[in-house]
Structure 1
Amino acid sequence: MTSAADPRHPLRPRLRRPVWASRNYSLLTAAAFVTSLGSQGALIAAAFAVLESGGDGGDVGLVAAARTLPLVLFLLIGGAVADRLPRHRVMVTANALNFLSQGAFAALVLLGEPRLWQMMLLTALGGTGQAFFSPAAEGMLMSSVEGEQAGRAFAVFRMAMQGAAVGGAALGGAMVAVIGPGWVLAADAAAFAVAGSLRSFLDVSHIPRREPGGGLLADLREGWVEVSGRPWLWRIVLQFSVANAVVAAADAVYGPLVARDHLGGAGPWGLALGFFGAGTVAGALLMTHWKPRRLLLAGTLCVFPLALPSAALAVPVPIGVLCAVMFLTGVTLEVFGVSWMTALHQEIPEHKLSRVSAYDWFGSVSLVPLTTALAGPAEDAFGRTPSLWGCTVLVVLVTAAVLCVPDVRDLTRRTKPVARRTPTGDTDRGSKDTETDTAADTEADRGLVG
């Protein structure tokens, strides 16, 4: 960061943003920090709101599934829409929907006993907003930075989000324990309002208008060609469709139940999630210095620890051990996240990245509604401990299977910019008609937006 003398006070330096931190980038980072802070606490609050209203593990799973189901249904459409409408407007509209749905959820909890169908409906509205927000946000972030410092900008963005997750999870768990889940949900609604206000000030005058294309279906078809033509891409997406599904069931359903029965309630569970967030911050910091040559090999090896939290809950281990396990999982998962985004940035034509990302998200969350909805019945049929061990085994098996793919083991980081190619071999030197174009170098570590 540079400084200069303040003309009003000649001896006082004036702080200035780094060159790579544009106004749009600063607004996006601040808004992402606010929403991540609120959303982490809201995840805990929603689960305990269901339990305190008389629900059981199956009801917690149904509410979690209600959020993810519309995410699955609308995500591909959201990716195509983000290429056709001004992305900042899509983001602000999605934030407004999240504000209204979370505000109504909070009011139900604070003013009376919410019914299960009401909580599911409002949670589903939040998932719909997320389906349109995520692809638009990723493209907007990409257009906010350029040049040789893009990698640093994305790393800082990721650390800001993960840092907020640390505070949000710990603070949210403590607030649920002290003042109840309703106020935590209300705080999350306020966070969406603040974030939407910040995003409304984004400047898109520098982004060229997209020329008319072949329609929504043609856009989706182009994205599918990019995904299906790369074995490493679609097989890792399949891997995470299983891994994310079982981890979501463990975290959203079994985790709060284990915390209630063995760890002392919402506070310790929020602390454990906070340690996971701290691990992701440490992992992002590590990846600003470590650039593995074999991107996907290093990243996939770091997915194996994702099986550890389910095993720890199955035992169950003391809260101190669980926090250590969650921290390690956060570090290694962030190594995969940075490696994965770097591989996408290197291999996928820039003007198709949003649609490819939508397919990536779609595959990654497609089974989550099913597993979260079935988590309660599985506990009744097999028991909580065997179900958690099943989650552990599935993560290990699908990760080991991906390591058998030669492209996963052999894909290497490029040290010099090269023209990107489609699966058919056509050279692609960039788009002239999308918001996602950027002059980022091929070693930039792109961040996830959410």
Structure 2
Amino acid sequence: MKKKFIIVLGGGESGVGAALLAKKNGFKIFLSDSGIILNKYKKILIENKIPFEEKGHTDNMIIQNAIKVIKSPGISRNNPLIKKINFLGIPIQSELEFGKNYLENSYIIGITGSNGKTTTCSIIYQILKKKGINVGIAGNIGRSFSKEIIKKKMFIYEMSSFQLDDCFNFRSNIAVLLNITRDHLNRYDYNIENYIDSKFRIATFQKKEDIFIYNYDDPIIREGLKKYYIESQCIPFSIKEELHIGAYIKDKKIFIRNQKNKEIYLLNVKNIPLTGDHNLYNIMASSIISEILNVKKESVISILSKLKSIEHRMEKIRNINGIQFINDSKATNVNAVFYALKSTNAPIIWIAGGEDKGNNYIELIPLVKQKVKAIICLGKNNKKITNFFKNIIDIILETNNMKKAVYMAYILSSHGYNVLFSPACSSFDLFKDYKERGNKFKQEVIKLSL
């Protein structure tokens, strides 16, 4: 049988977006998902007459008919079907690179990092929209690039390591690397060097006329700059040192020094509603992009001075009898929890746990000793957390039920405490994703207050 289909593997936002774009450009499409496709995506596929299957892949049909495979970033390269496709020499392309084939004369801002990607994308999106730029936002933030590319002059793309793994020539005009910490190591053979390689792909694909913005304070990134060949102009940001170029903090004020050695004062840190060092990094990266794109300082300040936490990231839910409940479900790695603990001044009841990704909790020890009064482990397998902290924290409780976790945290708290739901793990043992997990936490907190 003559091969005639583009096969899309994965029926989520990314896969359905790729299928729609392929259909629009005249290709025959077949979409296959190993799990259950959500009804909202099924409806789109049916309305657009795109054939699909769910609850498993029909390997022979896929292999015999595929001229190309577009793979969801969530599917591992070690998946048996992917290995078979590679062995047979069938081209595999990411949704991102497939989409860019149909994007003409657009400017790409790619943003990656272990933490802070969504916040930084959201900040720069607001700034550019205010300037009146026809800008789109897509990627790991929850929107398909392939669905969003029509009639956009500029794109902000949140890039996960999984998406970067599937890219082989995707080039960002501006690339941002916010930080690199131990994350997703279960996907990278528990070797952080493999994860670092993945993150640096955002810079190594660039050309000399492009710009690479990076966190100067991150030792892994600084070492990477010595290891990887990067053609683009490198611009750092730091909250610890005054830099000869880039963004930095001096006297609790944010400055940007440009290539002409001109120091530009942006605003006082105290005028930024988002607290914590992690947010300062996100803001400085966004400020450099704004300077490069000639956005007026007044426009940037007007956005930065009104910033709010994104949903599921240090999101204050309710104060119940003097106890503040904070939803930080997006904290799926240790470094995110580090900044959550650091930015919380009150005594903490910490709800943590989920599906471990190769975590090492050692960097949390000083903050846990100083601030955490009890740990509630929410997950199917809590041994790693309980074993690590059992000699540090006297009270460690376990549950696999969100309602019980919230209630136990409330009982253990006193007036002036914070209940911090900052898992340090992925959500897939009990929930579909971090959003469902965070929403469940919020629901239970609201019920508790009724």
Which has the higher relative contact order, 1 or 2, with Cα contacts under 8 A spaced 6 or more apart? Answer: 1
Say whether the fold is shared (TM-score over 0.5).
Answer: no
Q: Name whichever structure is richer in helix by fraction.
A: 1
Q: TM-score band, normalised by the shorter chain?
A: under 0.3
Answer with 1 or 2: which has the greater Rg.
2
Q: Name whichever structure is richer in strand by fraction.
A: 2
Task: With the length of structure 1 as denominator, give the TM-score of the two structures.
Answer: 0.25
Task: With the length of structure 2 as denominator, give the TM-score of the two structures.
Answer: 0.25
